[in-house]
Structure 1
Amino acid sequence: MDHTEHPPAAPHPGEFWDGFYSERENVWSGKPNAALVREMELVAPGTALELGCGEGADSIWLAQRGWTVTAVDVSSVALGRAAQHAAQAGVGNSITFARHDLAEWEPAGEYDLVAALFLHSPVDFPRERVLARAARTVAPGGTLLVVGHASFPPWSQHAHDDAAPLPSAEEVAQGLGLPSHEWSVETREAEGRTARGPEGQTVVLTDTVLRARRAR
């Protein structure tokens, strides 16, 4: 008989994120991401795909400005809240909420905007591959917007993991391998913002922002 001790199996992403969202009634602020607002406020609406929509604030903001949104997340708990918030905001008919594991799901069709906002996970997650796959669904003339942490907040579980350093916007662009004859990078920067932690602490966090437009 094999008495070798084996490490516990990693939780399924859906189970992990359902547990994460179940810990509190509302995890996020309900406000759209500041980088999304700044980068897309003046862009004419079309079709949008949001990867990892969470409780729906960003998809709702887009829908309120005339976008038709497909919002994807692995957590059924988050999607239920997002759908409820969208209905309360009067844009439920403009957003299709869909549960998919982004590590396995292949988006279909083309979108005028593909947005991945803080698409990080303490569960093993092929982020670069997911972003590259999503970039292929950006329609001619459309926009890819990737916003992420430059470093994790001190209260995050990620901050205590022995993970590789997070990529800069430049490194994200290089990892995606966007050919220059087909893409123009319009924003590639790091920016600071003030955030409040779960115990009321205030810190300045740095985010990376990559916005690229596909040629028509």
Structure 2
Amino acid sequence: MTTDSHGISPDTTPEEFWDNFYSAGDRVWSGRPNAVLVREVTGLTPGRALDVGCGEGGDAIWLAREGWRVTAVDVSRVALDRGAEHAASEGVGDRIDWQRHDLSVSFPDGTYDLVSTHFLHSWLELPRERILRTAAGAVAPGGVLLITGHAAFPAWAPDPDPEFHFPTPEEVLAGLDLADGQWDVLISDVHEEKVTDPGGEPATRTDNTVKLRRH
């Protein structure tokens, strides 16, 4: 059986890949919320939130602390279990519903006052545009859709794939295929974020963000 440079064989499922990814260490991410989420959601009236591709739950836990009722979705049971344990230790376990979905196959039911997804990228094939269109459809009237993605590989990325394309904010908006007159574009930009690289050193990463409000 052949594998690619990321050790992915042709029959590797998303659940297998991401469970292996998260099983490689006690924690992959910092546990802190994404800076864009904090910046763009602070001040919104808490309601029902959907965290699409929640990973180990840093964003979902922050939202719960801020008063939101959160549905947190990921394909990896390892990540979800880790997030649930972290949420319980923070005293917000009862405010988060952890759901496993392979988003190329299924999506949580209902509508939400906030639908947020950060860095929905994958080494596996992923119908990202279709998933984001579904996410937009889950935004309740008056609700907010927040999408943040990488604009380029970070400087520390090992062997970045020159063929990989990170969508621009304009491409994200076009891919959403939104009905005319039903949404306000609040943010559509490329920005730099101060982060810490894998070696623990200060670094800068370039990301893009799209924020919309449904009428």
TM-score by length of 2: 0.92
1:202–1:11 Cα change, 3 Å: farther
Identify unmatched segments of 5+ residues in structure 2: 4-8
Say if 1:73 and 1:98, in contact at 8 Å, map to a contact too. Answer: yes
Indicate yes or no: 2:214 matched with 1:214.
yes
Deviation at 1:148, TM superposition (A): 0.4
Larger-gyration structure (1/2): 1
Equivalent residue letter for 2:130: R
Specify the alignment match of 1:70 in structure 2: 71
For the residue of structure 2 that corresponds to 1:120, the secondary structure is coil
Deviation at 1:161, TM superposition (A): 2.6
Deviation at 1:76, TM superposition (A): 0.7
Deviation string, structure 1 residues 50-100 (Cα, Å, up to 9, x no partner): 111011010011111110000000011101110011001110000000111
Q: Aligned partners of 1:59 and 1:122: how far apart in 2?
A: 23
Aligned residues: percent identity? 50
1:201–1:108 Cα change, 3 Å: same
Structure 1 outlier segments of 4+, above 6 Å: none
Deviation at 1:165, TM superposition (A): 1.9
Q: How many residues align?
A: 210
For the residue of structure 1 that corresponds to 2:130, the secondary structure is helix
CA RMSD of aligned residues (A): 1.7
- Larger mean CA deviation between 159-168 and 32-41 belongs to 159-168
Equivalent residue letter for 2:194: T
Say if 1:48 and 1:115, in contact at 8 Å, map to a contact too. Answer: yes
Q: Aligned partners of 1:142 and 1:117: how far apart in 2?
A: 17
Say if 1:146 and 1:209, in contact at 8 Å, map to a contact too. Answer: yes
For the residue of structure 2 that corresponds to 1:128, the secondary structure is helix
Specify the alignment match of 2:13 in structure 1: 12
Q: Aligned partners of 2:157 and 2:69: how far apart in 1?
A: 32
Say if 2:71 and 2:98, in contact at 8 Å, map to a contact too. Answer: yes
Equivalent residue letter for 1:28: W
Summarize the alignment of residues 162-181 of structure 1 with structure 2, pairs less than 5 Å apart: 162-181=162-181
Identify unmatched segments of 5+ residues in structure 1: none
- Larger mean CA deviation between 17-26 and 195-204 belongs to 195-204
Deviation at 1:174, TM superposition (A): 1.2
Say if 1:10 and 1:123, in contact at 8 Å, map to a contact too. Answer: no
Specify the alignment match of 2:141 in structure 1: 140
- Larger mean CA deviation between 32-41 and 5-14 belongs to 5-14
Deviation at 1:111, TM superposition (A): 0.5
Q: Aligned partners of 1:153 and 1:127: how far apart in 2?
A: 20
Say if 2:153 and 2:160, in contact at 8 Å, map to a contact too. Answer: no
Deviation at 1:162, TM superposition (A): 4.5
For the residue of structure 2 that corresponds to 1:114, the secondary structure is strand
Specify the alignment match of 1:43 in structure 2: 44
Q: Aligned partners of 2:19 and 2:157: how far apart in 1?
A: 17
TM-score by length of 1: 0.92
Deviation at 1:27, TM superposition (A): 0.8
For the residue of structure 2 that corresponds to 1:135, the secondary structure is helix
Deviation at 1:169, TM superposition (A): 1.3
Summarize the alignment of residues 1-216 of structure 1 with structure 2, pairs less than 5 Å apart: 8-156=9-157, 160-215=160-215
Deviation at 1:35, TM superposition (A): 0.4
